[in-house]
Structure 1
Amino acid sequence: MSGASPPKPKQGFLRSIRVGPGLLKWGINLWPPFLGAGIRVQHIAPDFSEITVALKMGLLNRNYVGTHFGGSLFSMTDPFFMLMMMHRLGKGYIVWDRSARIDFLHPAKGTVIARFTLDEAQIDAVRAATADGEKHLPTYTVEVVNTDGKVCARVEKTLYIRKAVPEAAA
């Protein structure tokens, strides 16, 4: 089938449903991988510019040496920049997680918090970088901190973002 256009990327049926911050928070907090790991979304800003996530130490998320399991620390940071960007940009864009990197800086015990923020300047930069239809691969950083304010882990998330191909052009 030469000349056929490539298939249009799909982001799943949930992408087409407008979900407000309250419903999204409720759904994520009941999502089995987060529920089982003790990960809780504490706050989602009405405009999706900020999300706060907490992880309490429990029997099921501690490692051999009595600190938070690294996979739980990473999981608490996994989908949030992507979700925030999807909501901030709207339906005219494709947004995927592209890559991630975590640095463990201090043993994590007790409750740890991650605060994700995307300001208007970052959203404007993405719109400008994708205006010509090209992909954009921005990297965002979030720190996981304990109750004393000590940074336990630093996570870098790279997103894949581009304008969606209109249905008629696909």
Structure 2
Amino acid sequence: MQFIFKSPTIFRWTMSWYPPYWGTGIWVTKVANDFRRVQVQMHSTFYNTNVFGSHFGGSLASMSDPFYALMLTKLLGHRYQVIDAATQIQFIAMAKGTVTADFQLDDTILNRIREKTSTGDKHHETFTVEIVDEEGRVVTSVEKTIYMRLKRHARNELQKRFNGTDDLLPSRRSRL
């Protein structure tokens, strides 16, 4: 999977041509050079509209699904396990035409995650992305909860660095 993170262009094209996205008209339109911002659009097609002529809710959920987890995987690095834990979606208005989701991460968020996981603890962070129509009206609000933790090998390294033994880190001792 690491090949998709080689460059923003590779990431954009790989995700845009991913069959479930390509088939539903979902396109990654922008990826920042530092992977802290990803913009995704979905155009109305025969495959993603419902009987009411608006975007199918499953397609709206799909267009918001992997991006925070993928961005965090890239930004936190190979020492972290990043898993999509939950999605909550609220449909606010009928989504017609081209809709856009803009995913963004900043240093404050990344530093908080690193701090919360620095002792090997797991951490859940919730992000909100709004999907807007062509006029900029919010049509859908999506909350993504992402699970993050240092991988086992990184926790073991941390443990050994703590005091040169196999003793548990202080934050873990208190839970036993």
TM-score, scaled relative to structure 2: 0.85
Can you list the C-alpha shifts for 1:35-61, whole angstroms capped at 9, x where unaligned?
Answer: 000000001111110000000011111
Aligned partner of 1:124: which letter? Answer: N
Gaps of 5+ in 1: 1-13
Partner residue in 2 for 1:126: 113
Aligned partner of 1:142: which letter? Answer: V
Describe the SS at the equivalent of 2:23.
helix
Gaps of 5+ in 2: 158-176
| Partners of 1:33 and 1:133 in 2: CA distance | 35
Partner residue in 1 for 2:129: 142
| Partners of 1:158 and 1:168 in 2: CA distance | 22
Bigger radius of gyration among the two: 2
Partner residue in 2 for 1:71: 58
Tell me the number of residue pairs that the alignment of Structure 1 and Structure 2 aligns: 157
Counterpart mapping for 1:85-124 below 5 A: 85-124=72-111
Aligned partner of 1:83: which letter? Answer: L
Partner residue in 2 for 1:54: 41
Can you list the C-alpha shifts for 1:101-132, whole angstroms capped at 9, x where unaligned?
Answer: 10000000000000000111100000000001
Contact conserved, 2:4 with 2:11, CA < 8 A, in 1?
no
Describe the SS at the equivalent of 2:78.
coil
Runs of 4 or more above 6 Å deviation: none
| Partners of 2:50 and 2:155 in 1: CA distance | 52
| Partners of 2:92 and 2:57 in 1: CA distance | 11
Q: Answer yes or no: is 1:82 the counterpart of 2:73.
A: no
TM-score, scaled relative to structure 1: 0.88
Structure showing greater relative contact order (alpha-carbon pairs closer than 8 Å, 6 or more residues apart):
1
Counterpart mapping for 1:30-49 below 5 A: 30-49=17-36
Contact conserved, 2:79 with 2:154, CA < 8 A, in 1?
no
Q: Answer yes or no: is 1:165 the counterpart of 2:122.
A: no
Shift of 1:167: 7.4
CA RMSD between the two structures? 1.7
Describe the SS at the equivalent of 1:138.
strand
Describe the SS at the equivalent of 2:14.
helix
